[in-house]
Structure 1
């Protein structure tokens, strides 16, 4: 069986990673997310944007995968599992998932804003959030930025193409912890449904996708996913009977 998993902020929130719009303590609360996650914001104040992402980089390093991440990794013992994630953390990889495509980039990868070269040099420590930190400088004179997809930027072709291929070839799709409102990622479950692939949504709250999926599981990722796989055949049978 081939399983495509689309994961969003909800699965990582259970590990202590704040969702994007909640990821602001008192220091950051007065800033609009666009100021911190757009090319315009970067050009206006790269020191502020760098400080924001450096803090998130160090925050994520201190948390651990939860039972939801570990369950998805464990499914690899029974199926060909591809994870497509909207998250910029590395918790799926740390849990053991081997095929992970990051649609929105990663807090652990960096590149020059001028020549696009990757950066693997040192990063400043950040025991406490700081409002502004000077970003490292590339040898070409450009500034090092997080390799994150900011507002208005295109998704990277490689991860997107691989994600579409995973969905197109899947026998089953599981959508976990995502609001289903951020496109183009939100279009992937719709693609699966259009091809007759059953789609299971795992989310404690309803989303715009809920009325269209094959099955809704109204639990958190860490509660639902560890026991989900063996129950799926019967759950899907019941869901299809209810819709008939």
Structure 2
């Protein structure tokens, strides 16, 4: 079954808005695991406006599921943190400095040499590497040439068009996912997946390894409760089998 990694950035945003430690980020992460999450994702940014670098260090020894750190690998501070903490997976995202949220994947052809080098550094440290890509078969093939273990399909385009024409919205993702499978790449997905569109996505790409969901899941939790929300997302993945 496709695994659910819960991105806890928004919990950190809420905590930081008032100072102190409420909500308690570490407790929320452990609760997410207890409620059924298969992993925890964090995306520390240089300005530490949500997840702080200290949070990442605090979380690693206390988590019992898979730990995924995503971020901009052109920042030396990020590289040093990942090599220090050694998560199960690092997801490389081509964010610009100060970017509000991730909004595009890597050009794996233009940046092949750079990606090949940085991926090699992380893999040598025993960390599985995934890189963020758009649903473009050329970019998927380019990703395979870098030596990455997995790709993460950037799903904002799918989510944006899902309610207009879901079959048309999913089509390029299926083609990209098939190319990844053909090339032996593991497959993750994330960005704007939610309770409305998740099952359809996972049903059409049943070999999907993992989805990372944060914003929508935390918003749903405000209405439905944290434990119940995690179970509802897990059910969407179970029904896709």
Structure in which a larger fraction of residues adopt helix: 2
TM-score between both structures, scaled by the size of structure 2 = 0.31
State the structure with bigger RCO (CA 8 A, min sep 6), 1 or 2. Answer: 1
Larger Rg: 1
